[in-house]
Chain A
Amino acid sequence: MSLQSSANEPAIELVGIDKKFGAVHANKNINLSVGKGSIHGIIGENGAGKSTLMSILYGFYHADEGEIRIQGKPVTIRDSQAAIAAGIGMVHQHFMLVENFTVLENVMLGAEGGQLLAKGVAGARKELKRLEKDYGLEVDPDAMIEELPVGSQQRVEILKALYRGAEILILDEPTGVLTPAEADHLFRILEVLRDQGKTIILITHKLREIMAITDTVSVMRRGEMVATRKTAETTVAELAELMVGRRVLLRVEKGDANPGPVLLSVKNLTVKDGRGVTMVDDVSFDVRAGEIVGIAGVAGNGQSELLEALAGIRKPVSGEILIDGKPVESADPAVLRQLGLAHIPEDRHHMGLVLKFEEYENSILGYHHDPRYGRGAMLDLDAIRKSAEEQIEKYDIRPPNPRLKTANFSGGNQQKIVVAREIERDPKMLLIGQPTRGVDIGAIEFIHRRIIEMRDAGKAVLLVSVELDEIRSLSDRILVMFAGKVVGEKSSDADEQTLGLMMAGIAA
């Protein structure tokens, strides 16, 4: 279990860490040793205990039992201050930045070097220059955080940790918000940091990242550290199996498509965003019954706005949307639902669910006028709960409790609630945005199978995803969007590089 992860001496060791929250045993007797100057990955599904473990390391929680050793010496980490003093830096999944501060102010916060700012500013500027030179972390120190792209904001987080003298850097799901190019950039930075002797712990649930960047990897499942491997000596399949505890299919199996008549048709559609910028520019395409059309593209190239326009949430500036060959006059979500169009929105927290509602309430959102669920102004709660229970059983939503607050379900199960709600209405057309964002492997497999089943049942499916793997494994045809335009169409066997170039706007 406590296999030494590198030939070097360990930078950090965890011995018998144990943590309970009431009845939940979040970390069970965790042993881990990470060698100095290496990149160590920790993978596991949502709720496997990764975040708890890292919170213990950063002083947010205290372990009930166990010991933390840094450079061989036992340390007590009572709070964030102690973690910083011990040389631990953390890059949180949700950035801990003040948006209307400059980069410099954010870096200095908590380490100002005196009661007055003036003294510290010059020193901080010099130190930032040095860090920029040593590690290739270029960020303009006077830029406002809110004006920086997400990738740069993350670099500020890394700079903050290094500025405080971190030797051990923990990154929690660092690529969740990054574009593929930004993620590559981050990996190059991490490699430089490792080569300069820093120790890096990378927490993720993305197997590709583990394989691409780590030296060693540990797998967590249900609060336990189930295995530690050298990355070079393991495979994606083995890690996936260790994570889930059973064999998983990484590539969905599907037969050939059997396209029927055109159900959804888009003609010369142009959509502007809230600021008046044209996001979708004269786009036309068809989706036929019994096929999955995937829209690939780097986030922010108009896919979201296209999806919103089709779902009736955003009013197009010009162009036409035809359902069954008939133009849609007033694109209002309720009208569209009646015409047989279901929508699984990109962001389940903001559009798909009301997190404070109980599960059964979310299971009918948008379908509450259905006569099955009540009459007139009254809701038939018994009928709603019964149908929610059926969905829970059919979609294996856990825990199986329709009275549980939706916020208390894991990401994967929340997504299943949305998927169940939209698919169970037996729509003719299905719009899906980022179906598996922040969803663990087991649930990804499940959701992918449902999408294929919809296709095989003769539905028209439009899939938008920034995960190129997902687009390639599910779609029958792939449209690539760049800067608001569809720059090309490929079949599902197009290779990754071709699509990548099209997504970057380089080749068509």
Chain B
Amino acid sequence: MEYFDTFVSILGSAIRLSIPLLFTALAGLFSERAGIFDIGLEGKMLASAFAAACVAYWTGNAWAGLGAGIMVSIIFSLLHGFASITNRGNQIVSGVALNFIAAGLTIVLGTAWFNQGGRTGQVPAEGRFSGIILPGADMMRDVPIIGPLYANVISGNNILTYIAFLMVPISWWVLYRTRFGLRLRAVGENPGAVDTAGVSVVWLRYRALIVTGFLAGFAGTYLSIAQSAAFINNMSAGKGYIALAALIFAKWKPVPVMFACLLFGFLDAFANFMQGKSLPMIGEVPVQIFQALPYILTCVLLAGFIGVARPPKAGGVAYTKER
């Protein structure tokens, strides 16, 4: 029973750690399926985390914070679009540039506004998204197996967590059941087909990037005012890149993206749990090994275990009309 409790606590923490990954990977899904590589997910997450924390701090309203996070993230997306769609610039360079801008700007503005070395002020409780106790969680707690799972893993999360999981079927539905989704998938494979069908490639890709910005805004907001209570320097800490790895790992499909993010979240939670603990026979293992696991796993799995990951064919290439 003791092992089971430990397992439940790791699982609960895995869910919490996978949410920003899930939002970000879904965000990347929309832009990459439309043929725009987005290495700037990290920057969007960071910038929106900062914006959400500032606005939530000033207004004391978590939803206003979320709105600000989404807005800033969409602005970053549009900048990426302006560079790489309108001006046909290199998508990787543009994305990296946005990451730098986000990293620098959050520190400069944060220091100027809050004088705490890049931290924002402590966001008051009403300016944060806090856990929601689902009905019956306390009653269920004593039911063996299911009880602790329901009370500690499924219940008690904040609203953004539930939205994240809701976004998975919604993303699937948008991509595979709507006109927008069909065109979006087509433009990532062969923009010529979309253009000759009389649909604007540029506008379509911009719309995809707006969706990307929207979803990445949730991820940033989650970091600063749901998982913590302030913005801290570089608090995205590479999660944008892990989300990108999860996206590749999941072969650019929404439901596998969810499982990939859960797996990476679990590894992260496991790494935290193993800190300072020693394994039988081996002794204490440096925590860095566990922290490196998601990356190692991505490399190993991509190298052959999941077969060839085929990215959207027109990814990374700006569209020019052919004669």
Contacts and interface: CB of A to CB of B under 8 A. Distances in A.
A367 interface: no
Contact of B179 (A81, A99, A115): A115
A106 interface: yes
A101 B186 contact: yes
Given A81-B198, A109-B186, A112-B179, A96 B321 contact: no
A444 B189 CA distance: 36
A96 B177 contact: no
B183 A110 contact: yes
B86 interface: no
A299 B182 CA distance: 34
B199 A98 contact: no
Contacts of B186: 98, 101, 105, 109
Interface in B209-232: none
B180 interface: yes
Contacts of B198: 79-81, 83-84, 110
B253 interface: no
B321 A100 contact: no
Interface-central residue, A94, A108, A112, by most chain B CB under 10 Å:
A112
Nearest to A99: B189
B192 interface: yes
Contacts of B190: 96-99
A277 interface: no
Interface in A396-447: none
A154 to B, nearest CB: 14
B194 interface: yes
A109 B194 contact: yes
Nearest to B197: A110
Contacts of B199: 81, 109-110
Interface residues of B, number: 24
Interface in B293-323: 313, 321-323
B275 interface: no
Nearest to A115: B179
A5 interface: no
B163 interface: no
Interface in A74-129: 79-81, 83-84, 90, 92, 94, 96-101, 105-106, 108-112, 114-118, 120
B5 interface: no
B173 to A, nearest CB: 10
B126 interface: no
A128 B228 CA distance: 56
Interface in A162-195: none
B189 A96 contact: no
Given A51-B323, A52-B323, A98-B185, A115 B196 contact: no
A135 interface: no
Interface string B125-136: 000000000000
A423 B210 CA distance: 56
A60 interface: yes
Nearest to A93: B322
Interface in A42-81: 51-52, 55, 58, 60-61, 79-81
A55 B323 contact: yes
A94 B190 CA distance: 11
Contacts of B183: 109-110
Nearest to B187: A98
A117 B195 contact: no
A499 B182 CA distance: 46
Nearest to B198: A81
B290 to A, nearest CB: 37
Interface in B146-203: 176-183, 185-186, 189-190, 192-199
A61 B321 CA distance: 10
Contacts of A100: 189
Interface-central residue, A60, A98, A106, by most chain B CB under 10 Å:
A98
Contacts of A160: 197
Contacts of A110: 183, 194, 197-199
Nearest to A161: B196
A309 to B, nearest CB: 26
A79 B198 CA distance: 7
Interface in B229-262: none
Contact of B182 (A55, A60, A90, A112): A112
Interface-central residue, A52, A79, A109, A112, by most chain B CB under 10 Å:
A109
Contact of B196 (A92, A112, A116, A120): A92
Nearest to B199: A110
Interface string B56-90: 00000000000000000000000000000000000
A480 B179 CA distance: 49
A80 B195 CA distance: 7
Contacts of A55: 323
Nearest to B188: A98
A32 B302 CA distance: 56
A483 B186 CA distance: 36
B193 A96 contact: yes
Contacts of B322: 60, 94
A60 B189 contact: no
B218 to A, nearest CB: 24
Interface in A351-389: none
Nearest to A106: B193
B193 A115 contact: no
A83 B199 CA distance: 12
Contacts of A52: 323
A73 B179 CA distance: 33
B177 A117 contact: yes
Nearest to A90: B196
A160 B192 CA distance: 14
B196 A96 contact: yes
A116 B313 contact: no
A98 B196 contact: no
Contacts of A112: 179, 182
Nearest to B179: A112
B179 A117 contact: yes
Contacts of B177: 116-118
8 contacts: A81-B198, A96-B195, A100-B189, A105-B186, A109-B183, A116-B179, A117-B179, A118-B177
Q: What 7 A-B pairs come out closest when comparing CB atoms?
A: A110-B197, A81-B198, A96-B193, A112-B179, A96-B196, A80-B198, A98-B189
Given A97-B190, A160-B197, 4 more contacts: A80-B196, A98-B190, A110-B199, A118-B177
